[in-house]
Structure 1
Amino acid sequence: MSQDARNEIRAFITAKFPRMTFTDEQDIFALGFVNSLFAMELVMFIEKAFGTRIPNEELNLDNFRTVARMADLVRRQQSAATAR
């Protein structure tokens, strides 16, 4: 699942910024092509694509800096949902 999540997240970002190249571990905000407005798009995309809600305490920029961190966030939210 984690690799699938990474692939979907990377594809979403690449569709918005086709000329940028980045790895799953690179900070997309530090690279300078992503801003806080796009972070909200990422939140909406993740919630819709993975059928999860991101709680307020998880809505911090650090969870969205890299593809790897976003995939971890998805995994945590899906694990929490199945544990309920």
Structure 2
Amino acid sequence: MTANDTGTDRATAEAIAEFLEGRLGAAVPHDQDLFASGLVSSLFAMELVVHLEGVFGIAITGSDLKLDNFRTVESMTALVDRLRASDA
């Protein structure tokens, strides 16, 4: 996350981090690559898609369905914020 993040960005990031902590049983740094670290698999990525869509009221489709958007809490936060902004 950067110094330009808004409170909403932080709230989104915290909500995503809390979900991951609950599922993984450990806190995850917001910049940790979840796939490279072996914490999650591509199957879990689909669970992340469903979770993000349900919690944040977004639709993740097409080119947004790539692992890079789900590698870190930061990348998921950026995805959610971008999709929310495009819906506004």
Q: TM-score, normalised by structure 2?
A: 0.88
Offset, 1:33: 1.7
Over the residues paired in the alignment, what is the CA RMSD in angstroms?
Answer: 0.8
Offset, 1:22: 2.5
Q: Which runs of 5+ in 2 are unaligned?
A: 1-7
Residue 8 (structure 1) aligns with:
15
Q: Which runs of 5+ in 1 are unaligned?
A: none
Q: Distance in 1 between matches of 2:44 and 2:20?
A: 9
Q: 1:23 aligns with which of 29, 33, 41?
A: 29
Q: Distance in 2 between matches of 1:52 and 1:22?
A: 23
CA offsets 1:11-66 (integer angstroms, 9 cap, x no match): 11111111x34310110111112000100000000000000101211000000000
Q: TM-score, normalised by structure 1?
A: 0.92
Q: Distance in 2 between matches of 1:64 and 1:44?
A: 12
Task: Give the ranges of 4+ consecutive aligned residues of structure 1 lying more than 6 Å apart after TM superposition.
Answer: none
Q: Which has the higher contact order (CA 8 A, sep 6+)?
A: 1
Residue 74 (structure 1) aligns with:
80
Residue identity matched to 2:67: L
Q: Distance in 1 between matches of 2:10 and 2:30?
A: 10
